[in-house]
Amino acid sequence: MKELLVYVPKNSSRISYIFNHICGRMMDFEVQFTSKIETFISFKGPKISYCKKKLGNEIFIQQYGLLEEHGINDVNIMVDYWEEADCPCFFRVSNDSDLSFDIFSASFYLLSRYEEYQPHVKNEYGCFGYEESLAFQKNFLTLPVIEIWVECFKNLLQQKFELPENEKSYQVKVNISVEQAYAFRHRGFVRLLGASLQDLFKFDFLKIYQRLKTMFRLAPDPYDVYDDLVKFGQNSNIILDFYFQLSDYTRHSKSISYNKRVYHKLIKSMGDYVKLGLRPGYEAINNFLIFKKEKKRWQNIVNQNLYATLINSDGLNFPLVFEHMIKLEITDDYSMGYPNQIGFRAGTASAFQFYDLNLEQSTRLVIHPYLFNSDTLQSGSFNAIEAELLRISAILRKLGLINRLTFTNADFSLYEDHQKLYALLKKLS
């Protein structure tokens, strides 16, 4: 790994975090910092200065100031258009800088979710809605702007230094959230009777018919699509990960009992083919003790430590739920996205470490953002959504990025037009 020396008058946890992400994780440099001008000048390898004034003829990125601050402050943001990258940017600096904006401050603002700590109008789930985001308001939510910026920054360095090879290939990865493992089966007589009476009062005779056919083994359970999904993944170059919910029965969580052996058998059998994780229930998102209890249930079933989680449509209560994950020693989360809007919530398609602005420190929790959640299908036309996903996928393919999408097992239900989803995934791959 090639060394990159960065001159900063004074280092900070924010500076270390964002330089290690952009220059380290994304560009494969071993990043070193110095505040000694003579050390910087004498260094013969790739180097840049990050300060207020240029030292000599080095590559110079002027500081905007966000990375030298502490805590959450009011930030006045003007979004400009960066012609070289053909995309928006913000935190403009003077013409002395080799980039016209502070790429490190702008990237930190997006990755740290700085705006989600600031006062905002909460959505129906009590969370930060996409309408409040800078990216949505300034029309760059569907662009992986950080990767686009970094590509131009890399080209700038390439003009002066030999850069390490960092070839990446495009790949589609799918999160499957299992909130209700089965639509009708394994629910017990009382719940079967209650659900049938509800459907009767609604005059939903088709659903009663489907339920009875399933219960008498005349038809498969419509949510039992696991074998089909595994086969689809095996016959394509698409990776599928499954996240199972293990909540108590409440008005928000109505799957079969987490204690049922048939559910345990399903989860264990899926572990032979795919990576498994936990889908925390609605109550667990805001309650540490319930979250801890569900984690223990998962580990007792799978006989492994739990490392991966996915919060699907209930809304990501940020940063509280991430703080809970860190306490529970969960290392990877796949919830960074908007359930009802296509786009990149953190401005990136790449995984990144969670930076805790309350504690001003980087954490070991790695965030894996997704582009699309199937909840979006409820509020838009399938053809329009497909066209948008194909457009964005072309950008991701060009940059060699991961295209992560989130679905539920119910989306592929035998009573839904599930073949359209399989066809869409094939087109995206």
Identify whether residues 96 and 28 lie together within a single domain.
yes
Range of the domain at 375: 171-183+221-428
Q: Token pair 């070839």 is at which residue?
A: 167
Single-letter amino acid code for the residue at 165: E
For the segment 160-172, the average pLDDT, to the nearest whole number, is: 83
The candidate with the shortest Cα–Cα distance to 75, out of 98, 48, 102, is 102
Rounded distance, CA 295 to CA 310, Å? 12
Identify whether residues 142 and 78 lie together within a single domain.
yes
pLDDT band at 164 (very low <50, low <70, confident <90, very high): low
For the segment 333-359, the average pLDDT, to the nearest whole number, is: 97
**52-66, 204-218, 350-364 — which is least confidently predicted?**
204-218
Identify whether residues 149 and 273 lie together within a single domain.
no
More confident residue, 2 or 93: 93
Identify whether residues 277 and 405 lie together within a single domain.
yes
Identify whether residues 247 and 361 lie together within a single domain.
yes
Q: Token pair 């979250």 is at which residue?
A: 291
For the segment 380-385, the average pLDDT, to the nearest whole number, is: 93
pLDDT band at 145 (very low <50, low <70, confident <90, very high): very high
pLDDT tens for 282-320 read 899 989 999 999 999 999 999 999 999 999 766 678 899
Identify whether residues 281 and 345 lie together within a single domain.
yes
Rounded distance, CA 169 to CA 399, Å? 8
Within-domain flag for 165: no
pLDDT band at 18 (very low <50, low <70, confident <90, very high): very high
Q: What are the distances in angstroms from CA 241 to CA 59, 81, 155, 237, 334?
A: 42, 37, 35, 13, 10
| Rg of the chain, C-alpha, whole Å | 24
pLDDT band at 201 (very low <50, low <70, confident <90, very high): low
Q: Token pair 């398609």 is at which residue?
A: 349
Within-domain flag for 318: yes
Single-letter amino acid code for the residue at 218: L
Rounded distance, CA 366 to CA 369, Å? 10
Spatial strand order of the sheet with 402-408 comes to 352-356, 361-367, 332-333, 308-309, 275-278, 239-244, 171-178, 402-408, 372-373
Beta carbons within 10 angstroms of residue 97's beta carbon: 19
Q: What is the CATH number of the domain that holds 342?
A: 3.20.20.370
Within-domain flag for 211: no
pLDDT for residue 216: 57
pLDDT for residue 20: 98
Contacts of 398 (CB under 8 A, 6+ apart): none
The candidate with the shortest Cα–Cα distance to 89, out of 143, 154, 27, is 143
DSSP 8-class letter at 185: T
Identify whether residues 179 and 77 lie together within a single domain.
no
pLDDT band at 199 (very low <50, low <70, confident <90, very high): low
Within-domain flag for 175: yes
Residue 161 pLDDT > 90, yes or no?
no
Within-domain flag for 205: no
pLDDT for residue 162: 77
Within-domain flag for 420: yes
Residue 228 pLDDT > 90, yes or no?
yes
Identify whether residues 283 and 388 lie together within a single domain.
yes
Rounded distance, CA 75 to CA 254, Å? 43
Identify whether residues 310 and 399 lie together within a single domain.
yes
Q: What are the distances in angstroms from CA 47 to CA 13, 42, 56?
A: 20, 11, 12
Residue 179 pLDDT > 80, yes or no?
yes
pLDDT band at 214 (very low <50, low <70, confident <90, very high): low
Identify whether residues 175 and 120 lie together within a single domain.
no
Q: What are the distances in angstroms from CA 16 to CA 10, 66, 70, 244, 398?
A: 11, 13, 14, 36, 29
pLDDT for residue 188: 55
pLDDT band at 204 (very low <50, low <70, confident <90, very high): low
Q: Token pair 């992400």 is at which residue?
A: 21
Identify whether residues 237 and 289 lie together within a single domain.
yes
More confident residue, 252 or 341: 341
User: Which of 107, 125, 158 is the endpoint of a domain?
Assistant: 158
Residue 4 pLDDT > 50, yes or no?
yes
pLDDT tens for 129-144 read 999 999 999 999 999 9
The candidate with the shortest Cα–Cα distance to 215, out of 183, 246, 252, is 183
Please state, for a pLDDT cut of 90, what percent of the chain lies above it. 76
**48-62, 168-182, 218-232, 311-325 — which is least confidently predicted?**
311-325
Q: Token pair 């969960």 is at which residue?
A: 330
Residue 376 pLDDT > 60, yes or no?
yes
Identify whether residues 359 and 231 lie together within a single domain.
yes
Within-domain flag for 244: yes
Split into its structural domains, the chain has a count of 2
Residue 210 pLDDT > 90, yes or no?
no
DSSP 8-class letter at 307: -
Residue 196 pLDDT > 70, yes or no?
no
Query: Reduced to 3 states, what is the DSSP secondary structure of residue 173?
Result: strand
Residue 358 bridge partners (DSSP): none
Within-domain flag for 84: yes
